[in-house]
Chain A
């Protein structure tokens, strides 16, 4: 017990080091100290603010205040952590947060040096006083722990200590930790000599300057990776491979992979704000970096953009993307190895069978323009008969036809062939049959299909999952909607479109409908949990309740990939809401109270 407490403390102290009063007027910045050969640099320049943005966040306070949260965290590990914290507070003689803030007040920095392959951690404390304190505590722990920490040597009158794989030392208000003595010495030299940018530190690296120019002023975590250097050193080769060899990975990231092979750097910024969590990754970009075989990814001159999103009530997820899928399919020979191409050939044969003998790559995929989207929305089951026990959300694929006049009848027949195929397969397996219907109006053609309820299902309030589906195709203008449910297809066709977003790929998830869908399947999910974890109904229900409550704080989450003339940016944002009193939430709680 004492041993593990001590380990925890050593770690804490190590992370937040200590300092003496600044001796010189000139104030060194960490980027003046970190060598120019660094391949990764990460900084938290204002840890106090970052910590406050998390710990004092309204949502965080609510979550930690929840009964369920307290119950869930009352584990032996939790108590061990609490004990470790107490021990730390006792050692430092102050409350843990104040101690941590004091130790890391002027920043925490981490770097990986490509030349020496050494990892470097720099921590700059509030003042010399507290750092002295930390150093003494560290030495005390050394004595307690016998030989675990040992004084290695003295370097230029600075004592250097060693703990298993890394060593550390304190210079004025800086704590230096490194697993590589060469890198460590270099840092100590610079700190001691107050020798700033001499072209050999990060501050003199051009691409570092480019990247930091684009930073925001908000406190957070910022990191920078020197791709050019990584490539030169032959590190992380997987990142710079020419091909993915995996159609799904290619579809998702193919173009980004090409950019990574050319871009000099990539930077990432992470911030916690009152609204939530933001992550932004940027890298240099030029349209002509993309090879011909991957033109389908960003489009001509990287001008490919997502389509407009229809405004559909209770949408829980949307995904819009610009991807020339047909071209990718047809270029598979250039993009993938032989085995993958073989698998795609087999898939093409099967898909050809489903689509009435049409060539999948050319005639099916090729009918659409690359701007596409997938929309998932909660289904309203009040009209669905028989009502399935598992209540899946409905989803729809929304595509734009290149040549609506020609494609409309073609696709209509393709859809009919596919439904026919499902009916043949379904009949062989004793599944219900799909009945088709076509309605044409001036503005749209709707081809619906519905499962004809089998007798045993007609009055079944918990019918098989298949009744979630009423596959429907809608044509209007140049738009083609293929949906798992008729009602969603119609809603989309009639919906107002939201303003166009300047993005190449965008994903959004909405918290409230997502929670509602979970709640729709409450008993199912609880039962699933019982069978998977062997829990009782009460235990499984309590666990479900926790998930539902935590979900209440999620307002939405968004991801966007935006290419501009000179930069490629990936933005992710999670919006949190600090209120627990939405209708669904209270209904859910009412249920559990009434039980």
Chain B
């Protein structure tokens, strides 16, 4: 297939037909949209240590009830999954996705010799390395260093938010931009059509000669202007029947949806959702956090489904650790170990994957992990992106069997 971009590159540079002043045959905007097929991963980082036991609840387990007299979720408030497990009642969005076969829960994800510091444990998840090692890049950053095979000029990964770039996206050679708002992808001044027309025509028009560096900048400029235009005009972007929640997380995922639907060539989007460090008065706070999570992820996937893009998107929600099985005296829970990772989107084995750690077989009061987080990453890298994961994960990790087919890209 002759991709739109390649067409752009050749026509803008090589063709003698294009000259200054005349009409530019290359069309910007909606008419030039082609539907992409590259696969996309949206990472939702739950900061502060999400209470996994109150997210995917072992409602029938007597140990759970006994150790959490005031913090446990009542059985009637649980949305059943299977095997005595169920979602927290606020996760209606997840339950709906599960029902539709678009969600998988991997239970008991963690790593050996767990660290209970937020920062350290998060760094371990991000880099797949311990403190003793030199950590200069993250797993997604290392994935970015793999040749993409695309001549695309769009950033391959984007971080949504104003905080510093997550270590997971750090690479020694590729820089991942942070996005605070869609405005960053819109050419300012473009609301004046005379200005926009001039800038587009002038950047696309042929140059004399063959300056390689200039050609590179020129084709990139054309890509950028086209991306900016698509953001406003792409037909996918204009129509949506989805009512988004108004929370911060929803706004960020809405931006992600907008970018995907305007055919941005980005493969990884990274957002964070903070506030899970619920040492005190947990129930109301956690309910609110989970509702925001479930509702926003559902809105994202529904909107993508509506625009026919859902087949190439997977959302992964993880947290640096779960919380202790036993609650504390302030109606809260303290830092623990393993927790569930939730994948939602296309191509998944619906339902529970992996083994739920036993509540009657604890280590120092904490769950023993049954799945290593690198086995989850391995599934994402090998099975979703179709790339060998050994270099990226700094070791051989068997993929968790969570994707339906071990597809190649």
Contact = CB atoms under 8 A, between A and B. Distances in A.
B175 interface: no
A357 B286 CA distance: 16
B307 interface: no
Interface string A350-367: 111101111110000000
Interface string B238-253: 0000000111000000
A356 B332 CA distance: 11
Contact of B291 (A342, A350, A356): A342
B278 interface: yes
Q: Is the interface of A mostly helix, strand, loop or mixed?
A: helix
B292 A342 contact: yes
A343 B245 CA distance: 14
B278 A357 contact: no
A339 B332 contact: no
Contacts of B289: 346
Interface in B302-358: 328-332
B285 A346 contact: yes
Contacts of A346: 275, 285, 288-289
B323 to A, nearest CB: 12
A555 B217 CA distance: 61
Contacts of A345: 281, 284-285, 287-288
Contacts of B27: none
A348 B279 contact: no
Contacts of B282: 349
B291 to A, nearest CB: 7
B288 A358 contact: no
B195 interface: no
B247 A350 contact: no
Q: Determine which residue in B119, B279, B280, B287 has the highest number of CB atoms from chain A within 10 A of its CB, and name it.
A: B280
Interface of B: 119, 245-247, 275, 277-282, 284-289, 291-292, 328-332
Interface of A: 339, 341-343, 345-346, 348-353, 355-360, 428
Contacts of B278: 349
B71 to A, nearest CB: 11
A375 B287 CA distance: 37
A349 B285 contact: yes
Given A357-B328, A428-B119, A348 B284 contact: yes
A356 B119 CA distance: 22
A360 B279 CA distance: 13
A360 B284 CA distance: 13
B119 A349 contact: no
B369 to A, nearest CB: 25
| The 3 A-B residue pairs with the shortest CB-CB distance in the complex, in nearest-first order | A357-B330, A352-B280, A342-B288
A353 B285 contact: no
B275 A350 contact: yes
9 contacts: A339-B246, A341-B288, A345-B281, A345-B287, A346-B285, A348-B284, A349-B282, A352-B281, A357-B329
A360 B119 contact: no
Given A342-B287, A352-B281, A356-B330, 17 more contacts: A339-B246, A342-B288, A343-B288, A345-B284, A345-B288, A346-B285, A346-B289, A349-B275, A349-B279, A349-B281, A349-B286, A352-B279, A353-B332, A357-B279, A357-B330, A358-B330, A359-B281
Contacts of A428: 119
Contacts of B288: 341-343, 345-346
Contacts of A343: 288
A428 B119 CA distance: 10
B291 A349 contact: no
B282 to A, nearest CB: 6
A594 B282 CA distance: 61
Nearest to A360: B281
A105 B332 CA distance: 71
Contacts of B275: 346, 349-350
A349 B49 CA distance: 14
B392 to A, nearest CB: 30
A348 B330 CA distance: 12
A349 B247 contact: no
A359 B280 CA distance: 8
A353 B279 CA distance: 6
A343 B274 CA distance: 12
A447 B275 CA distance: 31
Nearest to B246: A339
A355 to B, nearest CB: 8
Q: Determine which residue in B119, B288, B332 has the highest number of CB atoms from chain A within 10 A of its CB, and name it.
A: B288
B332 A357 contact: yes
A343 B292 CA distance: 11
Contacts of B279: 349, 352-353, 357
Contacts of A348: 281, 284-285
A10 to B, nearest CB: 32
Given A359-B281, A428-B119, A349 B287 contact: no
Contact of A352 (B246, B292, B332): B332
B277 A353 contact: yes
A293 B289 CA distance: 27
A520 B119 CA distance: 38
Nearest to A349: B285
A349 B275 CA distance: 9
Contacts of A341: 284, 288
A342 B284 CA distance: 7
A535 B339 CA distance: 54
A350 B289 CA distance: 13
A342 B287 CA distance: 8
Contacts of B330: 352-353, 356-358
B166 to A, nearest CB: 18
A152 B288 CA distance: 63
Nearest to A357: B330
